[in-house]
Structure 1
Amino acid sequence: MNRNLKTTLLFVLLLCLGTTVRAQDNVVDEVVWIVGDEAIMKSEVEEARLSALYQGRRFEADAYCVLPEEIAVQKLFLHQAELDSIEVPESQVIQEVDFQTNQYIANIGSREKMEEYFNKTSSEIRETLRENIRDGLRVQEMQRKLVENIKITPAEVRRYFQDLPPDSIPYVPTQVEVQIITQQPKVPIEEIEAVKTRLREFTDRINKGETSFSTLARMYSEDRASAISGGELPFYGRGQLDPAFANVAFNLQSPDKISKIVESEMGFHIIQLIEKRGDRIRVRHILLKPHVPDSALVAGMARLDSIADDIRNEKFKFEEAASVLSDDKDTRKNHGLLPNPRNNTSRFEMQDLPPEIAKVVDKMEVGEISKAFTMIPQSTGKEVCVIVKLKSRTNGHKATIAEDYQRLKNIVLEKRQAEVLDKWIREKQKTTYVRIKESWRHNCNFKYPGWIKE
């Protein structure tokens, strides 16, 4: 964009500091901030406020001071991201949009209530989310680039820890390591055939034009996250899907054809193609899960209790049983040790454990093996029988260099990163044109006072 055109646009924005009207709904809107060549509209701030209220956020200061400043800071990073040609994959954006939309619908109650809450149609909400999520991901990537070269030495960690007042030393909550053995209860053949028969009936009804795939997905699919949107999934690459599901989905050639029945870890599906885009695909599906009878759960727990007794009687070790007998593929190769995806270790704070496991482990001694119980893993949504062993427990304590070096290092790293980003924002303010409508800066105590230069 050339300098004359930028000047013209800026002049137009300045004129817009008066009041404008959105034609689509006759809602009075206005430009309240200008940051560089970008305007911050009153409606943009209001949408951010509604989203914050939805998330339960509380403001220590006036939201109409805090939120515009946060949006302004984001625009500084976005401008730099534009200069540095930073982009994010559209597939990641769409996946986040789908997830957030489904979260809104699930928490607010229905698609209609969501539209009423935000005073927008579903398509308008999705488009707003798409823009905001794309911007947010680009801001994150820009920030990551600005701090990627920061390194922390052991000497810096020790110095940070030594300089901390005793009452400021971080408290490390209790952490545990847990080993697990699971048994998948056997589902009767009759139940599996009943599920397949229902899916064949769905396919027949769709092919005869009696109803649509989306309608049946909303009514019957047991993947409730996608059922809300008619069974639609976001764009996925082959490697992001269950292999059996992916093989069938990627072989679909026409939206008019319904797939054969496919079994995945989640259950049984039929699939309909929506769109292919390069090496990514978007489909809708209907998932049905065979019902596990109580007798199968009782038998599964009895078998695990027998295995636990054999371990207690030293016939074999828990680690050996987990490697050979467990149905849990994620832990079987690691002697049953449960991995924590949040920190890439085997250590869990109690609130990070699956709730069924946390309740059992909370009362156990190190080395103890539990009685059998049932749980529903998030990864499959299918009920399994479980025994666990508490491998280790580190009680809550004040952090020490010897025991908690990595945690302290992360604290120092985050502190350094925050300082670098803070300095960058303050320097960027000096070279960026900013105009704030008088009524929107009155009595505002901004975090970064450099917005107001006069």
Structure 2
Amino acid sequence: MKSIKYIFLILIMTILFNGVQGQSILIDKVVAKVGSEHILLSEVEEEFSYAKTKDPSLTDDIKCLIIDNMIAQKLVIYHAKIDSVEIAEDEVETQLDYRFESILRQMNGDEAFFQDYYGATGAEMKERFRDDQRHKILAEKMQYKLISEIEITPKEVEKFYKGVPSDSLPYFKSEMEISEIILTPKVNDVERNKALDKITDLRKKVVSGEATFADIASKFSQDPGSAVRGGDLGFAKRGVYVPEFEVTVFSLAKDEISEIIETEFGFHFIQLIERRGNTIRARHVLIKPEITADDLTLAKNKLDSIRQLIASDSMTFEEAVMKFSLKNLPSYSNSGRVKNQNTNNTFFAADDLDPDTYFAIFELKPGQLSSPLSIQLPDGQKAFRLIKLNTISKPHKASLKEDFDKIAGFAKESKKNEYFLKWLKKKREETFIYTDPMFKDCKLGGEASGM
């Protein structure tokens, strides 16, 4: 359990922006030193206050665990600096922007409310937490450097399995593996031209000065996430946007407005706001061609025809995925196999599946196909989904024969945790660590404080 707490807290670090509002005034002091790194009393109190919001029953005793984990964090950071682990400044900026934008979205883009709530502007908050964010990235990179190359052998998996008492082995529910083909309706020419005419008119108003970019985006853009911020997409590095959008936005000069471009999402025009090396901040207006009922019917009928080709062995499911399925989905690059995002493998228990998917396949046998299922993609786009049931298992106690891959995953994580804890223990012994007498009754790293 202790190892899990260490790993979890090293990975997560301090949650930025939490515990800022409504802090009481505290006379600060250094309560721990780890090499050249310091831990302040205010930092311990902030962590404690945040923990109390999650579990009001916590007492001051939890501060021993907090300071112990903060020392572990500082050990990682201190030795990352010694090992010259590098961080690009745009990485820090991008993650700060992402966190700020996430909070602002929860406030409906109201920057005045943000400033009133936190007592500081977004820019001021980002500066306040810049070092915290830098340390978080540094710790993540150092931990990745330490454990990323750890592998597990079949003998180690078997040893791990045999080391688990029989009555402690997990009981696996019935699980399924599925594959999918996702087909989106094709926009008809009439609706495509309507959307193009509309965005052409909107761009003319911006370029002529008749209206500001922010006003047009707020009133007309069909990207709800950025429209509330006048089209502002925040900072992003290369590789974030779809190719057509990325090529255009990275070719723009500051304040330049692009020509109209077309992507899989619709028509856009873009303005570059700021560039920082390989990181840019831009805003855009998006207009989507309308999908009609006839377009939807055509797409559904096409997917049903694809289903008939697969069922008659005229085409394999995998071939159909490569030829017809939506290419920007994770399943496309995995021959249609769907990954369970909660477990990072391809197995789904019944309660892991959304109701529509479950009821589409619950009567199927392995190898059979569902009927085309109407779905909505994360971006709001309507689509149709054809599902293949690959495998289904019966409920059972974990066994090496049936569940080798799962057990191997558990064994590998256990090996990583064990290695990381050994590294921490060794670095505690090699590194100067001081803790304030106020923590003299705490057991830190298995030893009494006051090192």
Instruction: Give the secondary structure class of the aligned counterpart of 1:235.
Output: strand
Q: Per-residue displacement from partner, 1:334-373 (whole Å, max 9, x unpaired)?
A: 6544456787765455666677545534554323322222
Instruction: Provide closer, same or farther for how the CA distance between residues 145 and 451 of structure 1 changes in structure 2, counting only shifts above 3 A.
Output: farther
Instruction: Provide closer, same or farther for how the CA distance between residues 110 and 280 of structure 1 changes in structure 2, counting only shifts above 3 A.
Output: closer
CA distance in 2, matches of 1:178, 1:369: 10
Q: Which residue of 1 is the match for residue 207 of structure 2?
A: 207
Q: Per-residue displacement from partner, 1:292-332 (whole Å, max 9, x unpaired)?
A: 22332233223433443565466655445444444546556
CA distance in 1, matches of 2:334, 2:406: 24
Q: Which residue of 2 is the match for residue 39 of structure 1?
A: 38
Asked if 2 retains the 8 angstrom alpha-carbon contact of 1:249 and 1:273, the reply is yes
Instruction: Give the secondary structure class of the aligned counterpart of 2:235.
Output: coil
Q: Which runs of 5+ in 1 are unaligned?
A: 1-21
Q: What is the percent sequence identity of the aligned residues?
A: 28
Asked if 1 retains the 8 angstrom alpha-carbon contact of 2:48 and 2:66, the reply is yes
Letter in 2 for 1:35: K
Q: CA deviation at 1:162?
A: 1.2
Q: Which residue of 2 is the match for residue 6 of structure 1?
A: none
Q: Which residue of 1 is the match for residue 196 of structure 2?
A: 196
CA distance in 2, matches of 1:419, 1:110: 44
Equivalent pairs, count? 424
Q: Which residue of 1 is the match for residue 234 of structure 2?
A: 233
Instruction: Give the secondary structure class of the aligned counterpart of 2:102.
Output: helix
Asked if 2 retains the 8 angstrom alpha-carbon contact of 1:29 and 1:41, the reply is no
Asked if 1 retains the 8 angstrom alpha-carbon contact of 2:202 and 2:216, the reply is yes
Q: Which residue of 2 is the match for residue 121 of structure 1?
A: 121
CA distance in 1, matches of 2:147, 2:57: 28
Q: Per-residue displacement from partner, 1:68-108 (whole Å, max 9, x unpaired)?
A: 43333211111111111112333433333233223323345
Q: Which residue of 1 is the match for residue 292 of structure 2?
A: 293
CA distance in 1, matches of 2:44, 2:195: 49
Instruction: Provide closer, same or farther for how the CA distance between residues 342 and 97 of structure 1 changes in structure 2, counting only shifts above 3 A.
Output: farther
Q: How does 1:67-82 map to 2 (within 5 A)?
A: 67-82=66-81
Q: CA deviation at 1:141?
A: 1.8
Instruction: Give the secondary structure class of the aligned counterpart of 1:164.
Output: coil
Letter in 2 for 1:448: G
Instruction: Give the secondary structure class of the aligned counterpart of 2:234.
Output: coil
Asked if 1 retains the 8 angstrom alpha-carbon contact of 2:254 and 2:275, the reply is no
Instruction: Give the secondary structure class of the aligned counterpart of 1:253.
Output: coil
TM-score, scaled relative to structure 1: 0.78
Asked if 2 retains the 8 angstrom alpha-carbon contact of 1:324 and 1:332, the reply is no
Instruction: Provide closer, same or farther for how the CA distance between residues 60 and 427 of structure 1 changes in structure 2, counting only shifts above 3 A.
Output: farther
Letter in 2 for 1:87: E
Bigger mean CA offset, 35-44 vs 331-340: 331-340
Q: Which residue of 2 is the match for residue 452 of structure 1?
A: 449
Asked if 1 retains the 8 angstrom alpha-carbon contact of 2:443 and 2:449, the reply is no
Q: Which residue of 1 is the match for residue 304 of structure 2?
A: 305
Asked if 1 retains the 8 angstrom alpha-carbon contact of 2:442 and 2:449, the reply is no
Instruction: Provide closer, same or farther for how the CA distance between residues 452 and 326 of structure 1 changes in structure 2, counting only shifts above 3 A.
Output: closer
Letter in 1 for 2:450: K
Q: CA deviation at 1:182?
A: 2.8
Instruction: Give the secondary structure class of the aligned counterpart of 2:29.
Output: strand
Asked if 2 retains the 8 angstrom alpha-carbon contact of 1:102 and 1:225, the reply is no
Q: How does 1:55-454 map to 2 (within 5 A)?
A: 62=60, 64-107=63-106, 110-111=109-110, 112-148=112-148, 150-230=150-230, 231-237=232-238, 239-255=239-255, 257-309=256-308, 311-312=310-311, 317-328=316-327, 336-338=336-338, 346-348=346-348, 357-358=357-358, 360-362=360-362, 364-378=364-378, 381-430=380-429, 431-436=431-436, 438=438, 441=439, 445-446=442-443, 448-450=445-447, 452-453=449-450
Instruction: Provide closer, same or farther for how the CA distance between residues 104 and 360 of structure 1 changes in structure 2, counting only shifts above 3 A.
Output: farther
Q: Which residue of 2 is the match for residue 9 of structure 1?
A: none
Q: Which runs of 5+ in 2 are unaligned?
A: 1-19
Q: CA deviation at 1:43?
A: 4.1
Q: CA deviation at 1:169?
A: 1.4
Instruction: Give the secondary structure class of the aligned counterpart of 2:281.
Output: strand
Instruction: Provide closer, same or farther for how the CA distance between residues 158 and 199 of structure 1 changes in structure 2, counting only shifts above 3 A.
Output: same
